[in-house]
Copies of this chain bind each other. A is one copy, B any other.
Amino acid sequence: MNDSFASSDDRRSGDRLKHLQKAVFPEALILALGGELPGVECAYETWGTLNAEASNAVLVCHAISGDSHAAQHDADDDPGWWDELIGPGPDFAIDTEKFFVVCSNVLGGCRGTTGPGTIDPATGDPYGADFPAITVADMVAVQTRLADHLGITQWRAVVGGSLGGHQALTWATRHPERVKTCMAIATSPRLTSQALAFDIIARNAIQTDPHFHGGQYYDQPTQPNTGLAIARMLGHITYLSSEAMDAKFDPDRHDPRKLATSFEERFSVGSYLAHQGTKFTQRFDANSYVAISMALDLFDLGRTRETLIETFRGSLCDYLITSFSSDWLFTPQQSRDIVNALTALDLPVTYAEITSAAGHDAFLLPDEISQYGPLVAAKLGHTNDQPPALRHDDDMVLDLIPEGSSVLDLGCGSGRLLATLKQRGHEHLVGVEVAQPKIIEAAARGLDIIDYDLNRGLPAFTDNQFDFVILSATLQAVANVEQLFDEMLRVGRRVIVSFPNFAYKALREDYVERGRSPKATGEYDHEWYNTPNRRFPSIADVEDLCRDKGATIHDAVYLDSQTNQRIPATPDGDPNLDADTAVLVISR
């Protein structure tokens, strides 16, 4: 097979029936939109062993065209779609030696669970177009029956990507007591209008296929495979970034692979789409595609911040939200919208936007799994409990925080301060950081870290949400200082700002005696032309700004880190000259 034809989907073919289990639930299922099924069957697979307390069960939820075969069961087994995430031993984020992993085919699917292709007991024929309209909530309702059947009262975690993320979020909001951790990857609160448009055109292609026969095609000699293939081709556009498509197809743009299909093969990308579209018809049912994509389109946790907050109110679990920078189907901003609602409710959440050129498919790819896998592992308790090495000014900051206070640390880096506070017994701790390696390192300490650019302000947080907001050694890198001061004073009852003093005597000497832009050890140890810093205030400057902002300075600690001496405030000392570091405690 031509390399450019490889896709994550290629791993999802073949016979996995030997590991497929089936649960039959004969009670009628009343659906969210008013329909009813006289009973449902649920096909699922499991990995690992449920412990005696039934406390180690992880539910994995699949995306629109996935199925229950999330991972290989053994070396002879077909590959699974999340093989790099799920497997035996500590190399896997979801370690099947520790966890009992369950993955079921969704309601409406065509891989064993009740769907439009299932025989309707009332007629003896497949449901076809009579299959009632379903929602993600109905998919989850079937999964609750499965959980009951398996004796699982509470999932240790519900994990899913894309539509699987929608299922995880539905568990967390509709069955709060049954989920300990919700991990929603590459997902969204609802679809953008653009994403809806793709699904609508896909359904139009299927439903106007002359072989669709209003959905009653199962006894026909020909199935609506042309429409289904076109729907699948459209899906593939949305799964890849434009950059990824060019990397995959541009080198041999005019050298398409020859296939036996009725579709155009003039360009390499065309033969790829023809291949994917045609192959899909061999394993998927058009009615299932219509039913599941409509459930996806109807999924809606809320359009505004207020409605999203209402949706998540009452949720009890811990969250991991992950997005991918080049995902334009379920954008990072949509994940941020979820995170902002969770933080407003003080729900524990870690959020990372993983840098990737792969687009939506990123959540299935090994490179990206190696990035977000540690976040999944940390949420499942696989944390780094080494005490962090502290910086020279950290103790000054830590000493100012009373026992038990809640803390928001802005620009938290790898979580030094928060990890120390956690070891001291503080419970409500949140970190904000923008550098991906630091986010992953901090999250691995079991901290709640949010990937967040401070230059956006702090819209995720509510008034007086924290006892303390910390801005430690970060002020000098902030573009919009005034907005950030206003926001910190709004969100924290007290704000601690630690910063290097740009009017420290050694820096003044550089400037006055040598006529050179000041330069010193620590935060200012850069040349004028390559410093990442963009703000160069003195202690007096920052204190002026506090006063201008109507903030009260409650406490101030000044340090000369060169001599490790505290410098008294004026009139007994001149910290603006003699201290290279200051820590202020302010409030409005």
Q: Which residues of A contact B (CB under 8 A)?
A: 192-194, 196-198, 200-201, 203-205, 207-208, 210, 226, 230, 233-234, 236-237, 240, 242, 245-246, 248-250, 253, 262-264, 266-267, 269-270, 273-274, 294, 297, 303, 328, 331, 480-482, 502-503, 508, 511-512, 514-517, 528-530, 534-541, 544-545, 576-577
Q: Complex: how many Å from CA A294 to CA B270?
A: 12
Q: Complex: how many Å from CA A512 to CA B502?
A: 11
Q: List 8 A-B contacts (CB under 8 A).
A: A204-B230, A205-B205, A208-B226, A503-B511, A511-B511, A514-B540, A528-B536, A529-B545
Q: Is the pair A263, B538 in contact by a Cβ cutoff of 8 Å? A: no
Q: Is the pair B204, A233 in contact by a Cβ cutoff of 8 Å? A: yes
Query: Closest Cβ of chain B: how far from A220's Cβ, in Å?
Result: 14
Q: Is the pair A237, B273 in contact by a Cβ cutoff of 8 Å? A: no
Would A502 and B517 be within 8 Å (CB), given that A237-B194, A269-B196, A273-B200 are in contact? yes
Would A270 and B194 be within 8 Å (CB), given that A201-B234, A263-B208 are in contact? no
Q: Tell which of B297, B502, B517 touches A538, judged by Cβ atoms closer than 8 Å.
A: B517
Q: Is the pair B512, A541 in contact by a Cβ cutoff of 8 Å? A: no
Q: Is the pair A273, B197 in contact by a Cβ cutoff of 8 Å? A: yes
Q: Tell which of B194, B249, B516 touches A541, judged by Cβ atoms closer than 8 Å.
A: B516
Query: Closest Cβ of chain B: how far from A39's Cβ, in Å?
Result: 28
Not counting A503-B515, A529-B535, a sample of 19 additional A-B residue pairs whose C-beta atoms are within 8 angstroms of each other reads: A193-B246, A193-B248, A197-B233, A197-B270, A197-B273, A200-B233, A200-B273, A201-B230, A201-B234, A205-B205, A208-B263, A480-B530, A481-B530, A482-B530, A503-B517, A514-B540, A515-B539, A517-B541, A528-B535
For residue A194, which residues in chain B have a CB less than 8 angstroms away from its CB? Answer: 237, 240, 242, 245-246
Q: Complex: how many Å from CA A269 to CA B537?
A: 51
For residue A198, which residues in chain B have a CB less than 8 angstroms away from its CB? Answer: 237
Q: Complex: how many Å from CA A544 to CA B266?
A: 58
Q: Is the pair A269, B197 in contact by a Cβ cutoff of 8 Å? A: yes
Q: Is the pair B516, A193 in contact by a Cβ cutoff of 8 Å? A: no
Q: Complex: how many Å from CA A480 to CA B529?
A: 7
Complex A-B, nearest 6 residue pairs according to Cβ-Cβ distance, in ascending order = A481-B529, A193-B245, A194-B242, A193-B249, A515-B576, A200-B270
Q: Is the pair B529, A515 in contact by a Cβ cutoff of 8 Å? A: no
Q: Complex: how many Å from CA A477 to CA B153?
A: 59
Q: Tell which of B201, B248, B503, B536 touches A237, judged by Cβ atoms closer than 8 Å.
A: B201
Q: Is the pair A269, B515 in contact by a Cβ cutoff of 8 Å? A: no
| Minimal Cβ-Cβ distance residue in B for A538 | B515
Query: Closest Cβ of chain B: how far from A391's Cβ, in Å?
Result: 23
Q: Complex: how many Å from CA A3 to CA B260?
A: 45
